């Protein structure tokens, strides 16, 4: 007797929230490069911008896209442990961005840190952290998903 079973059907609406998270992660990479183009510059070295924006942004995009693909293919439920681990990874990326920009927020309004530039640089991290945390622990997960 064979234990083969057909693959679950794709779920086209599954993973949309994770794709939104991936979009937010991609947008979080942009401020250091968009800011100077629109006149919102900060006196921050380029390597610091890479560590504060690019590295966590890429990690968020990769984790969120992986979670969305697993959910859409039907390989993982959106409340599975793997999916929650991937969105938890995105939470950590957002938390990193929020934490590294906290000193910038404290300097906001000074000559080297105008409020518009501070807002552009420091908004994405807390939004991503909050959204990813909600996705990780959102209502609807069943206890059987953790067994």
pLDDT on residue 91: 97
Show the tokens assigned to 111. Answer: 């000559």
Could you list the pLDDT tens digit for every one of the 147 residues in the chain? 556 656 655 555 678 899 999 999 999 999 999 998 998 888 888 899 999 999 999 999 999 999 999 888 776 666 688 888 999 999 999 999 999 999 989 988 887 888 999 999 999 999 999 999 999 888 754 444 443
pLDDT on residue 80: 80
pLDDT on residue 83: 86
């Amino acid at each position: 007797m064979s234990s083969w079973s057909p693959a679950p059907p794709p779920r086209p609406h599954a993973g949309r929230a994770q794709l939104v998270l991936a979009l937010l992660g991609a947008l979080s990479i942009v401020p250091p490069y968009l800011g100077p183009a629109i006149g919102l510059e900060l006196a921050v070295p380029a390597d610091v911008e890479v560590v504060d924006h690019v590295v966590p942004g890429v990690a968020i995009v990769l984790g969120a896209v992986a979670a969305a693909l697993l959910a859409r293919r039907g390989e993982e439920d959106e409340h599975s442990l793997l999916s929650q681990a991937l969105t938890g990874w995105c939470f950590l990326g957002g938390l990193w961005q929020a934490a590294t920009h906290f000193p910038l927020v404290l300097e906001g309004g000074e000559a080297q840190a105008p409020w518009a530039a501070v807002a552009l640089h420091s908004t994405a991290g807390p939004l991503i952290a909050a959204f990813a945390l909600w996705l990780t622990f959102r209502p609807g997960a069943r206890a059987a998903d953790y067994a």
